[in-house]
Amino acid sequence: MKLEVKRFAVAVGVWWGVALFVVTLISLANGYASDFLKIVEGIYPGYTVSALGSVIGLVYGFVDGFVGTYLLWWVYSLLHKEA
C-alpha cells in the first residue's frame, strides 16, 4: 500500500487547523492552554486568542500542517531512494 502524500498532508493540515481552532475557543471560555497559545501568537502573525484568532489559527494550522507534512515526506523520500 502506497501512501498518498497529498491526501495525508491535507489530513494533517485539517487536524492541526481544527485543533488550533478548538483550543482557542476553549481558551476563550476558561483560559485553557493559555501559555501554549501565547507561543502560537509569536509564531503566527495576526493570530490572537479571540474569535477571529480562532479562524486565523484554523487557516495557519492547515497551511502549516500541509506544508510541514509535505516537506517531511520530501526529506524522507530523499533519504530513502530505491536503488
Task: For 15-67, write each residue's pLDDT tens digit.
Answer: 999 999 999 999 999 999 999 999 999 999 999 999 999 999 999 999 999 99
Give me the domain span that covers residue 33.
Answer: 5-74
In a domain, 80, yes or no: no
Task: Give the three cell numbers for residue 46.
Answer: 495576526
Three-class DSSP labels, 34-65: HHHHHHHHHHCCCCCCCHHHHHHHHHHHHHHH
Q: What's the chain's Rg over C-alpha atoms?
A: 15
In a domain, 66, yes or no: yes
In a domain, 79, yes or no: no
Q: Which residue has the cell 501554549?
A: 36
pLDDT of residue 5: 92
Banded model confidence at residue 3, pLDDT cuts 50, 70, 90: confident
